[in-house]
Structure 1
């Protein structure tokens, strides 16, 4: 996605973190102390939730420990548990083993093992932020975690006096204060857009199978959006976009729309959406604040 018109915002900084490119744009210059706090929040989050680090909290859970994962855990895990129920287990934070099986592992070597591996049958026990997984298994919160981190960075900026800001983490974007027009990148042609939406004091998240995709032996085409029940990459949906009040919710629902139709989610969540199938046919919510090109 590309922000087309950031309105009155006029200063920005770009950096790499958690394996993706970030851009923070604000109405006033960002002072070094505030940026240091942003770095600290991102580092804390990565140390808790990264499945690519042997020293992270989720890696320790996978080794059988019981841990207090802190204040980010209750809202994140509650949302993912609800979506696990609503998708019939297709979206599941225990999908880490399935991703590692097809090569999306800590080394990111993209060397897939034969076949597919369903997510393990393990129970996630939680009391507030205290978490235990039985039997021990690795969590992957990528379906909503980057969005939650965007929200946390937005909160840091607001606490620092930047009520007018845009936080963009390569597909997860939250806007505060000034409306922004966002182009929806075509999943089959990154030089084109399938539409434009306006985001105002809200968030938008997008996901597509052309991002983080690779080939395996035998001509298998693989990507990172899996049905946790089978461990297989989704084959019928090419891209999704969701507008919601928070980036965490937008991120999670963008993933869920690969696995279930919007009608399975609209009774529980307030959001707007665009969904493109792999045959190129797009659909969208009737109250979408923008335009999808036919």
Structure 2
């Protein structure tokens, strides 16, 4: 779905802004990240023969996103969609792109008997207004809104490619337009003539994989939606699209209850039974639309619809935690959790890892308190928008990790940089980089994962620590230091450190931000507390 400012300033791409690593094939993989793209974040992986090809592909993709954003944005008053909305009862000739999306909306609305409906924007505005007043809509307000939605939204003429708006009900293309943009942008940059072999474009968890590239995709668990949590599923896809929609990132807090931002257009109420729907399809706009639809329909109807469609699979999560998969949902690949990868790599001594040995534990059994496995640490932080940036901006290199009271690294939660510690930019994460033997071993593994999740705001991230080290071993309770380190290319180096004690009492610590990390909060809480 599209949220926030869609139009970004064109970015000048330079060699140093691209992260690169060598793949088993002759092509190299170049990876770059942006924030505030379609109101969320962007991940781009390009398999190409040359750096020049990667630069061209990134420029082409960002340009196409800007072009289509100028058509579909519901937030830019000058977008084609909003200009068309402002001219009711006139058969207006529209662009091929807008016409195609309006046609697709009609097809999905018909096929789902109203479970998909761009007129749902009227409900979004009603519930947003009421949430600010900390109340749910009255019966009269819901009735009036549903009456407004009952009028036909538009009339299309295929022969003349004109669209006529028929009512004053507010409209939104958010449930399909982002997928359309991802599909078009990914395909337009796949140019074999320039040596571009494959592309992965991921915007806020809705993604497309094109060409020869095969990518493992982590499906985020809606009950533990963080950058490093154990995945709900992990699948490998090639020439496919993946989209996830759910209530883990956006919704309305009214009183002591959380309401989804996804509505059933037929009832006027937020959906309740489904907390997450992930769709794999041949096109990104198809996956985007169905991810919303499968939040609205009952599970049995969603599974029937997926089965009736060519090349569509789905994974659904109900409120009680039960999961449902379509019959052809691909088998999950083994999750690549950092500590699992390390355990399978090569042995490292406990003393080198800064972790007490079994013998040490026997000697100190009476004095060492065990970690309370009912608790976890949530590290929430927000990336600072660079000064002067009005549109999209590049994400800095970031490391988030935990040290014991002797200053030895015991667990890396986030590493946004190249996977090889000898790379050009990783040393800029100074304290993380000069860690001990166990810390350097982590450098051999790529901690950058491609996530499909419910769309979240740009620049905001979470990481969870379960009290285990990089080898999956449970650490004792006690005193540790949480570190957040950021280095921006052609920018500054910043660090936040906080020493805290983990025991049996929850706590919240707000940390002072800086020019790279706007804010950060440590929340030591019982597991299962999503909000």
Normalised to the residue count of structure 1, the TM-score between the two structures is 0.86
Task: Tell me how many residue pairs correspond in the alignment.
Answer: 283
SS in 2 for 1:91: coil
Does 2:352 correspond to 1:291?
no
Which of 104, 112, 122 is equivalent to 2:151?
122
Q: Check 1:37–1:165 CA distance in 2 against 1; reply closer, same or farther (3 A cut).
A: closer
Shift of 1:40: 2.6
Residue in structure 2 matched with residue 111 of structure 1 by the alignment: 132
Aligned to 1:135: 167
Change (3 A) 1:277 1:125: same
Shift of 1:243: 0.7
Match of 2:307 among 248, 254, 266: 266
Corresponding position of 1:12: 31
- Structure scoring higher RCO (CA < 8 A, sep ≥ 6) equals 1
Measured after TM superposition, the shift of residue 214 of structure 1 is: 2.9
Q: Choose 147-156 or 49-58, whichever is displaced more.
A: 49-58
SS in 1 for 2:295: coil
User: What is residue 211 of structure 1 aligned with on the other side?
Assistant: 249
Cα drift, residue 134 of structure 1: 0.5
Query: Aligned-residue CA RMSD in angstroms?
Result: 2.5
**Following the alignment from structure 1 to structure 2, what is the Cα–Cα distance between the partners of residues 264 and 50?**
29
Which stretch of the first structure deviates more once superposed, 272-281 or 136-145? Answer: 136-145
Counterpart position of 1:149: 181
- Does 29-38 or 198-207 show the bigger shift? 29-38
Gaps of 5+ in 1: 1-5
- C-alpha distance in 2 between matches for 1:230 and 1:183: 33
Tell me, in whole angstroms, the C-alpha distance in 2 between the residues paired with 1:136 and 1:200: 42
Separation of aligned partners in 2, 1:127 and 1:136? 20
Matches within 5 A, 1:1-294: 10-16=29-35, 17-28=37-48, 29=51, 30=53, 32-65=55-88, 66=90, 67-103=92-128, 111=132, 114-115=136-137, 116=142, 117-118=145-146, 120-123=149-152, 124-128=154-158, 129-159=161-191, 161-176=195-210, 177-190=212-225, 191-216=229-254, 218-260=255-297, 261-291=302-332
Contact 2:47/2:213 (<8 A) preserved: no
Alignment-derived partner of residue 6 in structure 2? none
Task: Tell me, in whole angstroms, the C-alpha distance in 2 between the residues paired with 1:140 and 1:35.
Answer: 28
* Residue pair 1:58, 1:139 contacting (<8 A) in 2 also: no
Distance in structure 2 (CA, Å) of the matches to 1:290 and 1:254: 19
Q: SS at 2:230's partner residue? A: strand
What is the TM-score with the length of structure 2 in the denominator?
0.50
Gaps of 5+ in 2: 1-22, 335-531
Cα distance in 2 for partners of 1:76, 1:68 equals: 14
What's the secondary structure of 2:220's corresponding residue? strand
